[in-house]
Structure 1
């Protein structure tokens, strides 16, 4: 799996332990984590632990997470990646988060487009999926901007923060 992807304004590079302070700042904001399946972080050690978990999944080719670096400032402004990789079915599920200071600037669609380009053109995947809580309007706007198709809502399908939640599923196919 590629360790770095560049876009016009961003560098997506495989997450590393030295990113923990920057990612902690992002993941400690309740507005950022509101729709993530993690509790808001209260200590940087939680970010270190999360990076270790994600890196272990990467070693098993089950997932990969990238730190999103804004080229102009060289700051980490979020993370994105393939939350689940299913090579045998040529598909992956994507996920993303952006620091609140950078919301509304088009960074999420730019990062996600680069993940889709890599998945479709290099990995030759057929399908990219995204699961979003129905109340997460900002995330749904990102997916709509990228022409994902809304497939439906899975009722009470996953447990997040101690309760079962609905998830809307969106997809994009290589042929779309």
Structure 2
């Protein structure tokens, strides 16, 4: 089951098929998907398929993805969550993206803080990690602000959009 999380300005909840058009607006923007391992979407059906895929992973306890809703406007401004849940080693990997209109307003830090609290307090995880392309400076700044530790660069760690990419690894431990 996907919980509901609240912050001062955000509501994080399970994504629904009815969110497809709003999430399509986010996932179709090439500025948003530039550092994601997906190409920007061209059809709403792709967003619907992604929502169903992510919810299936959640039902299998492999991942959790939330829609990020701005409380003031009740608009979906992105998504975030745990790309991977490892209950054996008590670690999760986080991921997040926001609509370009929401950049620079502190929403990413606010959503990630909520993910950290839930991971450490409710899921009893020991480690939260994030993998970020080295040129994604905005995401790196956000992780630094939240006191994540840079652990190193995984060279050509993944194939994304037809080419191998490096990934910087950042982590935060329950004891940090």
**TM bracket (short chain):** over 0.9
- Aligned partners of 1:3, 1:47: CA distance in 2, in Å? 21
Secondary structure of residue in 2 paired with 1:88? coil
Indicate conservation of the 8 Å contact 2:2/2:58, yes or no: no
Which aligned runs of 4 or more in structure 1 are off by greater than 3 angstroms? none
Q: How many Å separate the matches in 2 of 1:91 and 1:34? A: 26
How many Å apart are 1:2 and its aligned residue?
3.9
How far does the alpha carbon of each residue in 1:132-176 deviate from its partner, in whole angstroms, 9 at most, with x for none?
Answer: 000000000110010000000000011111111000000000000
The total of aligned residue pairs comes to 176
- Deviation of 1:3 after TM superposition, in Å, equals 2.2
1:48 aligns with 2:58: no
Q: Root-mean-square deviation (CA), in Å?
A: 0.7
Unaligned runs of 5+ in 1: none
Is structure 2 residue 152 aligned with structure 1 residue 149?
no
SS in 2 for 1:158: strand
SS in 1 for 2:40: coil
- Mark the runs of 5 or more structure 2 residues left unpaired by the alignment: none
1:33 counterpart = 2:33: yes
Partners of 1:157 and 1:26 lie apart in 2 by 26
CA distance in 2, matches of 1:121, 1:92: 13
Aligned pairs (5 A) from 1:75-90: 75-90=75-90
Q: Deviations over 1:69-94 (max 9, x none)?
A: 00000000000000000011101000
**Structure 1: how far apart are the matches of 2:16 and 2:3?**
11
In the other structure, the counterpart of 2:61 is 61
Instruction: Using the TM superposition, name which of 37-46 and 1-10 deviates more.
Output: 1-10
Give the aligned partner of residue 128 of structure 1.
Answer: 128
Displacement after TM superposition at 1:122 (Å): 1.1
Cα distance in 1 for residues equivalent to 2:75 and 2:155 = 38
